[in-house]
Amino acid sequence: MIVISTDETPNKLGKFIYRDVMLEVTYLSWNQISNIEQVLISHHLANSLRKNTIISDATGCLHKLQSEAAKQFPEKKWVRLRCENVCNNIENSLKHINISVPYPDLVLAWLFPTGITTHVLLLAALRNPTVRRRYLAVKDMLFEYGYAEFYPKLLNLLGCTHMTPSRIEEHLKALAETFDAAASVAKTPFLFSTDITPFAKPIAIEGSTELIKSGHHHEAIFWIVATFARCHKIFEADAPLKQQLYLPAFKNIMSDLGFNSNEDFIRRADEVIKFLPDLWEVTESILSKNPDIV
């Protein structure tokens, strides 16, 4: 994360290779982080500043901000506000889901709010709200806190509990072919553009393979679907004819997840919204049990 003094930030650099290391670079305006309260209620910003990982700080402003953020990070009022904000984002996003948008956008509009149900729980446990491995992270955490029986309910929202490792491997193989095709035609810039590139393929494809091989095949579904949708966003912009060629594979995994019409997205969004009180009950319990919360 590169913090700059101007209000407007350049486009995200994303992933690139520098001296055999993959970096992922995003710009932030100082105005986005200068208010400590705004930092503490944002789960992304708060977690970025909870530990001193600052590489360079010529003015000293970042170290001052980080020190204050780290001190207040585990206070219960801020932890609860972060959890509440994510819950509100889930509900607001799914209430306004629009089935008339292009199919990849519709999938993402359902997938990401559904997926951040995991973040609410991870935040209560003061764990990193990770992206690709969020389901594995929340699975481990729920087992530690004695809520193993709650975890399948999160997977049920995705609709993947009936899927076998071999079936998910089939979908991953189809995704690998889709990924290569999308990476070869990509021209239009997206925020995720550098995620669909040959040098980023090990994260999306091999990373999912590792999850499946280690017995966490259901935990691989979230990022497989997200990557499918992103590839089709690229096809939509840069190779519409190829989109038709690779669309059946995308529709196949969505069918396995229970989506056979656009109306299914409204129904499944409603299921997530109705689940939020149960999610909050477990969140509150974790908040009360967590010994690191002040």
Residues whose CB is less than 8 angstroms from the CB of residue 51 and which lie 6 or more positions away in sequence, other chains included:
70
3-class DSSP state for residue 166? helix
Q: pTM for the full model?
A: 0.95
Residues whose CB is less than 8 angstroms from the CB of residue 214 and which lie 6 or more positions away in sequence, other chains included:
none
Q: What is the pLDDT along the chain (294 residues), one digit of tens a residue?
A: 999 999 999 988 999 999 999 999 999 999 999 999 999 999 999 999 999 999 999 999 999 999 999 999 999 999 999 999 999 999 999 999 999 999 999 999 999 999 999 999 999 999 999 999 999 999 999 999 999 999 999 999 999 999 999 999 999 999 999 999 999 999 999 999 999 999 999 999 999 999 999 999 999 999 999 999 999 999 999 999 999 999 999 999 999 999 999 999 999 999 999 999 999 999 999 999 999 999
- Chain-centroid distance, C-alpha 102: 20
